[in-house]
């Protein structure tokens, strides 16, 4: 029986919604007092919210991995992935269509995510970045 695709932990989606609400209220408060500062805060807050929503849009399925970016959705099939690397809290999957940062800590079971990725990546790709740190 094949492992089910990993699910993002809902508890980590709530801070993004709170951040969006806080940004909107703060933006409205500052905008009423100083439009230039309000505009700067608005642009910075919007960029941060789009970044967070992009991370939460990561989808790992039997067909591959996809994620929203500034340029639209990037989708990589498992066969398209040529390189796997690791940063502090992401596994980066690189293919011919671009790269996707998979935020391992936001999933309910980080080990299950690593196992799912390992079982679906091509055999010629180095999987060592998916081995948990001791």
Tally Cβ neighbours within 10 Å of residue 81.
22
Phi/psi of residue 74, nearest 5 degrees = -105, 130
Which residue ranges make up each domain of the chain? 8-56, 59-134
How close are the terminal C-alpha atoms of the chain, in Å?
29
Q: 73: part of which helix (H) or strand (E)?
A: strand 72-77
pLDDT on residue 25 = 76
| Residue 60: strand pairing partners | 65
Tally Cβ neighbours within 10 Å of residue 114.
20
Calculate the alpha carbon distances from 106 to 13, 18, 33, 35, 102 in Å. Answer: 9, 16, 37, 36, 9
pLDDT on residue 37 = 76
For the chain, 134 residues long, give each residue's pLDDT as a single digit of tens: 456 666 665 555 666 677 777 777 777 777 677 777 777 777 777 777 777 777 778 888 899 999 988 788 899 999 999 999 988 878 899 999 999 988 887 777 888 888 889 889 988 888 787 776 65
Q: Can you give 24-62 as a three-state secondary structure string?
A: HHHHHHHHHHCHHHHHHHHHHHHHHHHHHHHHHCCEECC
Token pair belonging to 44: 């910075």
pLDDT on residue 1 = 46
Asked whether the beta carbons of 80 and 69 are under 8 A apart, the reply is no
């Amino acid at each position: 029986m094949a492992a089910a695709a990993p699910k993002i932990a809902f508890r980590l989606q709530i801070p993004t919604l709170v951040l969006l609400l806080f940004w909107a209220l703060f933006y409205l408060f500052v905008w009423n007092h100083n439009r230039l500062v309000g505009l700067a805060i608005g642009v910075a807050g919007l960029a941060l919210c789009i970044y967070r929503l992009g991370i939460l849009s990561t989808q790992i399925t039997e067909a591959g991995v996809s994620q929203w970016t500034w340029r639209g959705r990037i989708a990589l099939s498992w066969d398209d992935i040529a390189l796997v690397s690791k940063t502090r809290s992401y596994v980066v999957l690189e293919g011919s269509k671009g790269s996707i940062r998979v935020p391992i800590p936001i999933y309910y079971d980080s080990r299950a995510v690593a196992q799912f990725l390992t079982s679906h990546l091509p055999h010629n790709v180095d999987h060592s970045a998916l081995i948990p740190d001791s």
